Amino acid sequence: MSQATRKAGTGRRGRGGGQRVRLRPANPFDLIRLIAHSQSDPRKALAELVQNSLDAEARSITITRRRHRGEIQLSVFDDGRGIFPEEERPAALEKIATNIGHSFKKNLSAAERQRQMLLGKYGIGILGFWCVGRELEMRTRVAGSDVWSLRLVEDDPDAEVRKLPQRSFPFDAETCTEIVVQSVHPAAARVLSSRRLGDYLGSELRGQLLARDVKLRIIDRVARGKAVKDFLVVPQRFQGRRLPQVDELAVEGRSPARVELYLVDEQEERPARVSLCCGGTVVCEDLSQVEGYALDPALWGGRRLEGIIEFAELEVAPGTRRGFLPGPEADAFFEALRALEPRLRAVLEEEGEKRRAEQDQNLAQEIRRVFRPLARALPQYDFFEIARSSPQPDRAPGSAGAQLGRAEEMPAEEPSSEVVESGEEPEPPPELFPPGPLESVRIAPRRSRLLPGATRGLTAKAFDEAGRRIEAPLEFLWSLREGGGSLSAEEDRAAYTAPEETGAAAIVVLVRQGDIERQAEAEIEIVERLRGENPDAGIPDPKRVFDPEGDWRSRIVGARWEYNAAHRDYQSVVDDPRRRLRYLVHLFSKEIVLRNWGEPKDERLLERMVEVLTHIRARS
């Protein structure tokens, strides 16, 4: 046995009878170099420095981007408990430099790490500065002590611990830490601009920023012009609709995983992904990219789900802190995740059905809005007979064809408005003497509802102090103060015609009697349908039918109007809400014409017309 072998040997026999030899690096700094180069993302490296501040229970963290001697400099300052606060400052910094690869957090259990939200376990995060800049200086003060620093230089095996002059450390806090990265590499500076960095940290550290009482601030003294130069990092907010049905995932033999998932609308084109987190920070940005665990790619990569799943017991890959190490923890987690997939698919189908029902309801309202004016303009057309679900309550009369006249004199056929508040009050009986001077004015009705395009008659009434009606000559000035539509008036009578869109209007009348002026206001709401009105109004709800084998576009089945959602023409417009509405309006127009004037043989001819109109619209 050679002398080298004898030195390396442990004196113990291996399983095969050979000599056991302990592994050790030929050059320890070569190993440190490899570890440092394993981190290639400067954003993640800076996030590691912020993570150290979070681990130190900082309440305030400030990242400053400045120019120093012509080069970009980044600093991370925090008011946490400090670096090894129980140690003297020189000893604490030397401990950092001489224990690369050893973490003083690694002996914590997963539950303890989750409770304390300490992600670091390997003692190598500080080496990530190599991909950010040329030099790192760690400055520390604890309980009003002198300020000491640890200086590391990229690809240099030696570190320097020294005491700093007080004037070089402008912070007043008795306990604080500042990490300064000097000579930021140009490539890193481009991805570490303040706004990009803020967005990244808001996503990367979202869980910790939400769970901790901490403010993370970025100050940019390099940005020019109108760029934001001082702002707080806001945890990422998901834009979808939260799925409350799934908020926790039981993992056999392990602590449960926290689930926060959001449903993304099918019409949205932005990318949607579910991230895997550990310790409040992202370790896998997209679950659909995980290989070897047989996850459903259509579910996790289908752009319907976004959010995070947090599992504290993963063994995070050292160096890059991206990905995780295979093992029983990961196996148990992904087995539980696969068991969750059928439930998620059911939730997505349920939510999708709700969404389609909402779309169909909105579609029915839009179609009725389009055809209501037609029903009034072409009374010779017979619309469909739809049974009412309940009798109509008594309503104040009103009609689209009403002319100027008192509200109580309007015809009752085909009501298109209703009174919400009449404004009428009992008038005192006539007296021998005439009423006194003008004291008040009221508009009747005071509040009413109209269908789009409908007309409502209004009457202004003037009263004296005793509440007696004044019939003497008065001057009435009517005006439309708010809302669309049109107003015509004659003396104490007015007629308001609503616009074709829903909304609200306010009508004002000013009444003059000599030098006396009084005014009143009436409120009008333009609605899709009146209270108690038969919601079908001769226009049945469109019923979506998926019939890929059928060549029909729409049909009337009893009192139901169906359209074929599998037809190629419908599929060509389904992603464009405006074209989809026009297509269904054309189909319903076909059904009205067939009902009133058509013969059975005409249906195919009218459907061909719809086909032509559909594709003309597609190219217009």
- The tens digit of pLDDT for each residue in 468-494 reads 888 878 999 999 988 889 999 999 999
Quote the tokens at residue 528.
Answer: 């899709």
Residues 439-470 have pLDDT tens digits of 999 999 999 988 888 888 999 999 988 888 88
Residue 29 sits in which domain range? 1-35
Tell me which of 26-40, 387-401, 514-528 is least confident: 387-401
CATH of the domain at 93: 3.30.565.10
Give a yes or no: residue 438 inside a domain: yes
Q: Per this entry, what is the length of the chain?
A: 620
Provide the total of helices (H) and of strands (E) in the chain, helices listed first: 13, 28
- Choosing from 209, 232, 255, the residue where a domain stops is 232
Please give the Cα distance from 488 to 349 (Å, whole number): 52
- Choosing from 334, 351, 368, the residue where a domain stops is 351
| 192 plus 121 within the same structural domain | yes
Q: Is pLDDT above 60 for 406?
A: no
SS3 helix, strand, coil % of the chain, rounded to 5? 30, 25, 45
Q: Edge-to-edge strands of the sheet including 493-497?
A: 440-444, 455-463, 493-497, 486-490
The CB density around residue 124, as the number of other CB atoms within 10 Å, is 21
pLDDT score recorded for residue 405: 38
Only one residue has tokens 């009508």, namely 507
- Choosing from 232, 264, 295, the residue where a domain stops is 232
**Beta strand 440-444 pairing with 248-249:** unpaired
Please give the Cα distance from 536 to 388 (Å, whole number): 8
Give a yes or no: residue 318 inside a domain: yes
Percentage of the chain with pLDDT > 70? 81
Give a yes or no: residue 320 inside a domain: yes
Please give the Cα distance from 178 to 401 (Å, whole number): 78
Give a yes or no: residue 593 inside a domain: yes
Q: How far is CA 302 from the centre of its chain?
A: 18
* pTM over the 0.85 mark: no
Give a yes or no: residue 266 inside a domain: yes
Please give the Cα distance from 148 to 146 (Å, whole number): 6
| 204 plus 248 within the same structural domain | no
CATH of the domain at 416: 2.60.40.10
Give a yes or no: residue 373 inside a domain: no
Please give the Cα distance from 445 to 155 (Å, whole number): 85
Q: What domain count does the chain have?
A: 5
φ, ψ of residue 407 in degrees (nearest 5): -60, -40
Give a yes or no: residue 359 inside a domain: no
CA-based end-to-end distance of the chain? 89
Closest CA to 117 of 344, 278, 334: 278
| 266 plus 136 within the same structural domain | no
Extract the runs of DSSP E, i.e. beta strands, from 289-385.
305-310
Please give the Cα distance from 370 to 260 (Å, whole number): 41
Please give the Cα distance from 180 to 170 (Å, whole number): 14
Q: Is pLDDT above 70 for 130?
A: yes
Give a yes or no: residue 363 inside a domain: no
What is the three-class DSSP state of 593? helix
